[in-house]
Amino acid sequence: MKKKFTVKLLDWNTNDNKRIMPWKGETNPYKIWLSEIILQQTRVQQGLSYYNKLLKQYPTVFHLAKAPDGEVFKLWEGLGYYSRCKNLLETARMVVNERAGIFPDSYKGLLALKGVGPYTAAAIASFAYNLPHAVVDGNVFRVLSRFFGIDTPIDTTEGNKLYGNLANQLLRKTQAGTYNQAIMDFGAIVCKPQLPLCQQCNLKADCVAYNTSRTNILPKKEKRIVKKKRYLNYLVFVYGNNYYIEKRTGKDIWQNLYEFFLYETNNQVNWNELLLAGLLTNQLGIKDYNITKIYNPYTQQLTHQLLHGQFIVIALQHNPTALKGLLRVNKQALSHYAFPRLINQFLDDAFAH
């Protein structure tokens, strides 16, 4: 059954796989690494434009290594999971400074790079060097779970070990890169999460899930994601034509991106002039101001967090001491700084006219 799976999968890849992506067939480890980091937790449709944009701006690892952080984060803006961008820069500089710009050519060496886990290391190793390491991502979990009828949850230690071992047994060792690309494409095109194309599948005759009507319940997960709600109240201080912003540096969401003055609360606040007066005067010592506008809340869904963003624009009469640690940036220069999507939504509305 295992041998038949591999043969039929590669037959499908040769005869029916029409999926075109700029990094398919690529053997340059820099380009493969760049595409794989972008595609971590990102759909191909969204990641494609970022790949092209970053590769055009930084055609080699040397270009990326010497690029200013702020410039790269600005290009990454909107892609999310910004720790990937931080790791991208750190790895590029390590490869240039410690390895003369040459990427490791072994699975173990690739695994030692910042931001590179087992999946990414296997992808680079097989695509760039045709090393026999099977990739195991969401597509692979799904295809294997359905075809072999595996009930073991994919988000457990036991599941990771089981699927990893099975994936490596199925791998065509002499065509590692081709096989890995084929199974990922198959999961994206045919064996999709919802509404898989079972009638068009050349594996359906031997697929346990299809033959036992379990396609829609496999693969299984053990843990349920608990989504946390956060209430981010942004005081958008304006002094003349200048806006006060600061960089997020803590180990939290949006690290290294910019934001306005943040006042986070445990619950949603219905802001009014009286509440704002207490906050501004008592906590920040700001007395001379005008509340320009209180915007309706914006929301952004992250993997484990639902963010509520409230923006309150406050015109200042002078430059207050409480804000001396923030950057003062004129309206036109704001576009040079990388902001999270939630704040860009506000900026689009605020500067729409």
Between CA 185 and CA 181 the distance in angstroms is 6
Say whether 236 sits in a helix, a strand or coil.
strand
Say if residues 251 and 285 touch (Cβ distance below 8 Å). Answer: no
Whether 264 sits among the annotated catalytic residues: the reply is no
Residue 79 Cα distances to 23, 120, 151, 239, angstroms:
18, 18, 33, 31
Beta bridge partners of 2: none
Of these residues, 36, 71, 222, 264, which one is catalytic?
A: 36
DSSP state of 303: S
Say if residues 89 and 69 touch (Cβ distance below 8 Å). Answer: yes
Structure tokens at 157: 């230690």
Structure tokens at 109: 């060496």
Say whether 308 sits in a helix, a strand or coil.
strand
Say if residues 183 and 231 touch (Cβ distance below 8 Å). Answer: no
Residue 186 Cα distances to 3, 104, 233, 315, 319, angstroms:
17, 29, 44, 55, 59
Residue 352 Cα distances to 259, 261, 347, 348, 349, angstroms:
19, 22, 8, 6, 5
Number of Cβ within a 10 Å radius of residue 204: 19
Structure tokens at 190: 């045919």
Between CA 337 and CA 74 the distance in angstroms is 6
* Crossing angle of the two packed helices 44-57 and 69-76, in degrees rounded to 10: 150
Say if residues 58 and 64 touch (Cβ distance below 8 Å). Answer: yes
* Crossing angle of the two packed helices 69-76 and 83-99, in degrees rounded to 10: 140
Please state the separation of Cα 284 from the chain's center in Å: 36
Structure tokens at 340: 């999270």
Q: Active-site positions?
A: 36
